[in-house]
Amino acid sequence: MDSFLFAPIGDTKRDFVRVQMQIVESLSDNPAAQHTIIQINGGCKIMAKKTKEELAEVKRKRLAKKEEEERQAEIMHEKELLDLSEKRSNYLRKQKEYELINSDLKGWYDELDKLTKRSPADTVTDLQLETVNDLIVQVKQLITEDDFIEKVKQFVPAGNNPEYRDVIGVLRRLKQGLDRFIVNLKKEHDVIQEQADETLDLDDEDFINLDLKSDYNREDFIDPSIYDQLK
């Protein structure tokens, strides 16, 4: 018998002792050594005492359960670290590509903008056309979710080369796309940093603070309000 609950009895200690004695007398083979009696809500409950082996088994199961919970928590933590590592690597890759492309584009934009203001109807050279087409490809590969960038097409090198005013218009669109891209990248950075703050512990030494570089100049942006969003 593991346990048995008697109906409520009186509230006095005398009633409890009387019923307790009746219970003990009803048990055989030295019941007092095999059972314990507790008072619950005015009633009596007989609880079978566990042997040393049974107590050891209960302790073993509790320990095994705790170890399994800790193992599962560690597995979950490792999965979170892997996910964070992949996001971080992807973020840093896009940040590096942006910096290289933006630097190259800015140089060519400034140079062709001067030529456009001086002779807007003149045609670009073959080298300039090749470079602009390369920039178009690079920007489109970096920015894959921008409807305006998606519409930009390479210049077809057939017949006369395009005029400066047409080329500078395309470069302006590319530059505006990069401005939007860096804002979205900043938002991505914030999400990753928030996840890192929640996931990383002091033992995760392979991860560093993902501060977004702030060495961008306001004049680099066609729309200065875009730059302001990075502050």
Average pLDDT taken over every residue of the chain: 78
pTM attached to this predicted model: 0.61
Q: Is the model's pLDDT at 62 over the cut of 80?
A: yes
Lowest mean pLDDT among 42-51, 67-76, 158-167: 42-51
Lowest mean pLDDT among 16-25, 71-80, 150-159: 16-25
pLDDT band at 38; cut points 50, 70, 90: low
Q: Which residue has the higher pLDDT, 73 or 209?
A: 73
Residue-wise pLDDT tens digits, 122-153: 999 999 999 999 999 999 999 999 999 999 99
Element of type H or E holding 47? strand 43-48
- Report d(CA 231, CA 223) in Å as an integer: 14
Instruction: Tokens for 121, please give them.
Output: 């109807």
- Report d(CA 120, CA 116) in Å as an integer: 4
Instruction: Tokens for 122, please give them.
Output: 């003149």
Q: What is the mean pLDDT of residues 148-163?
A: 91
Domain ranges, ordered by start, for the chain: 3-49, 88-228
- Report d(CA 23, CA 135) in Å as an integer: 93
Q: Three-class SS string for 65-130? A: HHHHHHHHHHHHHHHHHHHHHHHHHHHHHHHHHHHHHHHHHHHHHHHHHHHHHHCCCCECCHHHHH
pLDDT at 210: 43
Decide if 91 contacts 192 (C-beta within 8 A): yes
